[in-house]
Amino acid sequence: MVLKMKNKIAIIANGTINDTNFHKNLLEDTDIIICADGGANNAKKMSVIPDYIVGDLDSASRSVIDFFKDKKTKIIKDTNPNKTDLELAIYLAESLNPNEIIILGALGDRIDHTLANIYCLNQIKSNVKARIIDEKNIIQLVDKQVEIRGKKEDLVSVIPISDIFGLNYEGLKWNLRNFDAKAGWFAISNRLSNEKAKIKLKEGKILVIRVKD
């Protein structure tokens, strides 16, 4: 008998989830589901039973917490004032030795929360494939290379979070070769010239954002 390795983890955060079916479909092949505090409200809305809920539990409704307790979800209360709920969920996820993490419900109306959640990608080990996903966007942090798959004319934006060296694009409408830039430079609204492209860099870190047009 071959045991299935638990290696793809989903984190549900407390941001906007409109299309519940879209997000629920993303969870079908995950091995473990973690809710970052109020992400439990989103899980309940999607009729999803998480394995864990972690945070200071000030955002998840009491009735939702009680509901998931009855479903044997593990509740971890952590009141560390120096960590956001998403950071706590990421810390828990990494302790479970994933090779992939997807984060849902990380974007929303609060721009401070949205930016903080995106920057949390920088806290995930570089050997773990990590993405923030919603109906329109796939966001990931890249420090070496990434292959992007989508539809021709999908938008691709690159935003460095550090100085970068040797940036290369292949398969985009406007390609680059061995490009260096300071943090603060950005490239918005490039496009896939076919169904896949590659972005590589020699040094630095970039956010790569694919937007469904």
Q: Which residue has the tokens 């609204």?
A: 189
Q: How far are the Cα atoms of 68, 83, 84, 86, 192 from residue 36, in angstroms, in the given order?
A: 14, 11, 9, 5, 33
- pLDDT per residue as tens digits for the range 127-158: 899 999 999 999 999 999 999 999 999 999 99
- Does 3 have pLDDT greater than 50? no
- pLDDT per residue as tens digits for the range 28-83: 999 999 999 999 999 999 999 999 999 999 999 999 999 999 999 999 999 998 99
- Does 2 have pLDDT greater than 50? no
**What is the spatial distance between Cα 206 and Cα 120, in angstroms, rounded to a whole number?**
13
CATH H superfamily, domain 8-135:
Thiamin pyrophosphokinase, catalytic domain (3.40.50.10240)
**What is the spatial distance between Cα 7 and Cα 93, in angstroms, rounded to a whole number?**
10
Q: Which residue has the tokens 């603060």?
A: 184
**What is the spatial distance between Cα 8 and Cα 112, in angstroms, rounded to a whole number?**
28
Q: Sketch the domain layout of the chain as residue ranges.
A: 8-135, 145-211
- Does 126 have pLDDT greater than 90? no
The sign of the CA dihedral 35, 41, 42, 47 is: positive
Q: Which one is the CATH code of 145-211: 2.40.70.10, 3.30.450.20, 3.40.50.300, 2.60.120.320?
A: 2.60.120.320
CB 16 within 8 A of CB 108: yes
What pLDDT sits at residue 1? 39
Q: Which helix (H) or strand (E) element contains residue 32?
A: strand 32-36
What does the pLDDT average to over 10-38? Answer: 96
CB 102 within 8 A of CB 10: yes
Find all residues with CB under 8 Å of 5, minimum gap 6, and list them.
31
What does 34-95 look like in DSSP terms, one character per residue?
Answer: EEETTHHHHHHHTT---SEEEE-SSSS-HHHHHHHHHTTPEEEE---TTS-HHHHHHHHHHH
What pLDDT sits at residue 5? 56
